[in-house]
Amino acid sequence: MLKIYAIPVSLYCAKLRILLRHKGVQWEEVPPPGGYGSDVYKAIVPSGNLPALHDGDLLLTDSEAIAEYLNETQPWPAMLPSEVTLRAKSRALGRFHDTRLEPELRRIFGQIRPDTRDADVVGRAGDAISGHLSVLAKLLVDADLPRDQLYLCDCGFAITFEWLASFEKHVGLALNWPDEVRQYRMDLARLPSIAAEYADYLPKLEAYMKDNT
Ligand SMILES: N[C@@H](CCC(=O)N[C@@H](CS)C(=O)NCC(=O)O)C(=O)O
């Protein structure tokens, strides 16, 4: 059985679980031995990050590398479009999530607790993230991928959108969601593998934010 190192509230672990659910594969989920960031964990997973996948002798990190690997080893249901330019645009969307949108969100994790929060930092983050959402709207229109199926690129956005909404609710992050992105978020929530992950994950995200704000 596939084994993944994960912690419940991790955004990238939730991104991976959406794919695992969609592929219908069984997996065993274990916390990083010795704790997150520990030397014990780094002795197993040198980069120390989550998620990490063990498949037999293979150890792999980076959610996108893991996703591409699983999409090749478990080809059905396919999670990349069959047409080459759409496949490229889909990959570009996934990279946009991992290298642009999510890192901007990550910059304000230190703003969750009210005692360390700086309203100016949160305000500037709102502008920067809104800028990325407006770029995303254009990328979505250009790619025009069918919304009734799940692609690799959707998994990260599905989780990051819920973190952003939670930051709006609990931290006072002010975002401008373009209509195309609002619609995309609603379309994603209707896909069964995402709905199944949300049922488990969103209560944990809410509890985490409540505990820390
Ligand atoms: N690009 C990586 C990002 C993973 C990532 O940042 N994971 C977080 C937990 S959600 C983590 O391990 N952070 C600590 C670190 O990178 O050392 C991926 O897609 O897997």
3-state SS, one letter per residue, for 145-168: CCCCCCCHHHHHHHHHHHHHHHHH
Give pLDDT tens digits for 2-54: 999 999 999 999 999 999 999 999 999 999 999 888 999 999 999 999 999 99
Looking at residue 4, its pLDDT comes to: 98
Distance 88 CA to ligand 1 centre (A): 24
Distance 206 CA to ligand 1 centre (A): 20
Give pLDDT tens digits for 69-90: 999 999 999 999 999 999 999 9
Peptide bond into 75 cis (omega under 30): no
| Domain 84-212: which CATH number of 3.40.710.10, 1.20.1050.10, 3.60.20.10, 1.10.10.10 | 1.20.1050.10
Q: Which residues pair with 59 in a beta bridge?
A: 54
**Which element (helix H / strand E) includes 28?**
strand 27-30
Closest C-alpha residue for ligand 1 atom 1:
62
Q: Quick check: 107 and 125 in contact, CB under 8 A?
A: yes
Q: Quick check: 132 and 104 in contact, CB under 8 A?
A: yes
Q: How many residues does the chain have?
A: 213
* Entry pTM: 0.97
Looking at residue 166, its pLDDT comes to: 98
| Domain 2-73: which CATH number of 3.30.70.270, 3.40.190.10, 3.40.50.920, 3.40.30.10 | 3.40.30.10
8 lines ligand 1 (CB under 6 A): no
- Residues 6 or more apart in contact with residue 92 via CB below 8 angstroms: 139, 143
